[in-house]
Structures are given as structure tokens and as C-alpha cells.
Chain A
Amino acid sequence: MASTAAVPFWRSAGMTYITYSNICANLVRNCLKEPYKSEAINREKVHFSVSKWADGKPQKPTIRSDTPEA
């Protein structure tokens, strides 16, 4: 018994809701006027380190960052 709920176009293209929402938010932020635009972009900058684990030990971490390395 297949469900017949209508899917939004982005979901049928393989995109998740959160990806859709983030794309919309980025586009809206891009259309801001100047001082607000740089504040918004600054606010959304992230900096984090990710490491995969194997055998109970962390492997080499990768750092993902929007701030330029000083």
C-alpha cells in the first residue's frame, strides 16, 4: 500500500528538509543590505573539528572553518 501524499519538488529530487531550509536562509541572507548582511554572515560562521573513530580511538581530526587561518 504505497502512500500517496504529494511530495515537494525538493524531496523528490533527493534533498532533505534541512538542506532546503538552509539554502533558503542563505539566499535570503544574501539579499540583505550592507551592514546587516555582514553581521548575518559573521553570525553564521562556524569552526569545528571532526574526527572519525575506529577501534575506540579517534583518528586524525579534520578542521572545518569559515574563519581564515591566522
Chain B
Amino acid sequence: MFRQVAHRILTRSTTTYSAGAAATIRRPYSTEVVADASSGDSAFVEAWKKVAPNIDPPKTPIQYMEPRPPTPSTLPSKLTVNFVLPYSAELSKAEVDMVIVPATTGQMGILPGHVPTIAELKPGLLSVHEGNDVKKYFISSGFAFVHSNSYADILAVEAIPLDRIDQAQVQKGLSEFTQKLNSASTDLDKAEAQIGVDVHSALNSALTG
């Protein structure tokens, strides 16, 4: 009997939510939520203290996370870039003027105040502009995320400064893969040869351009 009552209460509360009302309730974006993480979940802490008053409540993962920096109301003057590789962080919260990334849709320039974007990167040149210095890296592939608070996260699998590229190896690879592309039979072979040609020609133009 009690189970039926509970079930009816549950169904009643869900049916008062019409589909229209549910659709208009918008979940906040992560940049809008202010995570007051330092004190932890107050209901949990109180329940803990009732049960084990002498032991400190354990910290939950959210307390270790720094809240995302909020979106400033005026346009910031610098872009904050986090440029990371799987094995190291090349730039960590570096304040720069502009970053040009090799997106699949072409070279994309990211300035402070850029619209939030997720871009897939193709093998190509990444340049970081700070005042008059330009640092260039060749990226194998990856993603670039631009957030509304003028933070850009660039993730790449391999990124090499241009002076570490071996020109002779690039030429050799280019000719080898162009030949493979001509003699390839299966779709997969063709795709691999095409990837080889793309990467080596991008390396070539990065060295000469």
C-alpha cells in the first residue's frame, strides 16, 4: 500500500512538469556556474558531523578543482593560452596577443574575445604572437578550444619547433608517399598514402613558407 502511494506521488510530481515547461528550463553553461568549491557540499558535511563528529569530513573531488575563470564583462586585452602535448605542457596560462592555429577549415586566428569555438586541427603550423615575437610549431593533429572568457586550450599530439625538422627526411617522405599513392590498391592503403602526402607537404610548406 505504501509502495503505491509513493509511486503515485512520484508520478504526480513528474506529470505536473509539462514538456513545454521542461524545455524552457535552461541548464547553465559551465562558464556561468560559480562553483563555490572550497567549503564542500554543506548537506554532506552536516550529515557527516552528526555521525562522526570527531573525524574531519573527506574532501570531494570538486573541492580540488579550481573554478573556471569567469567571463569578464569588458574585452580582455590578452588571450590566455594553454598549449599542451600528451607528455608536456608547452604553454601553461601564457598571456599572448594572438594565436594562429591550423584548423581543418583553414588557418584560424584567435584573438582575445573570440567566439567560443571547438576546432579540429590538421597537420600544419601553429604560431603564437606575443608583442613582436612569434613562436612557431609544427603540429601533427589535435584540437583547439576557445572559451568565452578568452582562454584557448590547444591540444596537440606532437608539436615540434621548426628548427628541429629534417628537410631531407621531409623530401624523402614526400616522394615515397606520392609513389605509394599512385600504386595503392585498397581504400585503406590509399588513405594512408594520402595522409602521408598531406603531412609531408604541410611540413614542406612550413619549412619554406
Interface residues of A, Cβ cutoff 8 Å to B: 8-10, 12-15, 20-25, 27-34, 36-37, 40, 43
Contact = CB atoms under 8 A, between A and B. Distances in A.
Interface in B6-31: none
A27 B199 contact: yes
Contacts of B166: 31-34, 37
Given A24-B141, A25-B141, A13 B191 contact: yes
A10 B173 CA distance: 19
A23 B192 contact: yes
Contact of B165 (A12, A15, A32): A32
Contact of A28 (B104, B140, B188, B192): B140
Interface string B132-145: 00000010111000
Chain A residues touching B, majority SS: helix
- Contact-size category for B: 20 to 34
B140 A31 contact: no
Contact of A30 (B138, B157, B173): B173
Contacts of A31: 165-166, 169-170, 173, 200, 203
Interface string B180-209: 000000011011101110011001000000
B2 interface: no
Contact of A27 (B104, B190, B195): B195
A40 to B, nearest CB: 8
A70 B17 CA distance: 68
A29 B138 CA distance: 11
B123 interface: yes
B64 interface: no
11 contacts: A9-B194, A13-B187, A21-B157, A24-B199, A27-B195, A27-B196, A27-B199, A27-B200, A30-B173, A31-B203, A37-B166
Given A31-B203, A43-B87, 7 more contacts: A23-B192, A24-B140, A25-B158, A27-B140, A28-B138, A32-B164, A33-B165
B188 A25 contact: no
B164 A33 contact: yes
A70 B170 CA distance: 34
Nearest to A20: B195
A52 B180 CA distance: 36
Contacts of B187: 12-14
A9 B196 contact: no
B160 interface: yes
Contact of A32 (B142, B157, B160, B192): B160
Nearest to B177: A27
